[in-house]
Copies of this chain bind each other. A is one copy, B any other.
C-alpha cells in the first residue's frame, strides 16, 4: 500500500541558511523550489536517493508551519510515503480506521497529489501520502533556483 518513504518534511525558520546545511554540508542536490501561497510556505526539495528532504519555511507567523515553529521549534515536521493510487490508499486507510485530515487529495509541490492523515491516528506523527506527477517522476537534476508560483 505504502511504497516507500517519499520524503521527510523539516520545518526551518528560513530556507537559505538551511540550504547551507542540507545542500552544501550534507551534499543533497537541490531539485525544486516552490512558494505555496495558500499553504503559507516556502519549500525546497533536495534529493537523497529516490527520496527527498523537504525544507519548509513559513511565509508568516500565522501559518501552519509558523505556528509549528512557535510551538515546537525547528525540526522534523512530517513524513510522507509514496503511493501509486492515492484515492485507493485513502479509501483503504479510512476503512482501516485511520482518521484523515484530507478526505480527498489536493495538489502538493511539483504537481503531486497529496493527502494528510490525522496525527491523532498515527501516534502524533503528521503523515502524508503522495502520488507523484509523471513529470516529477521523470525529473532528475538540479533546477534553476528561481521560485515558481504554488500549483495549489
The residues of A with any CB-CB pair to B shorter than 8 Å are: 1-5, 7-8, 10, 12, 18, 21, 24-28, 48-51, 72-79, 81-82, 93, 96-98, 119, 121-126
A121 to B21, alpha carbons, bound, how many Å? Answer: 8
| Chain B residues closer than 8 Å to A18, beta-carbon distance | 123
In-complex Cβ contact of A125 among B2, B10, B51, B93 (8 A): B10
Out of B75, B79, B122, which one reaches A21, CB within 8 Å? B122
| A21 close to B73 (CB less than 8 A) | no
Q: Given the known A-B contacts A10-B125, A76-B125, A123-B21, are A26 and B1 also in contact in the complex, defined by CB atoms under 8 Å?
A: yes
Which B residues are CB-close (under 8 A) to A27?
Answer: 1-2
Give bound CA distance, A17 to B119, whole Å.
15
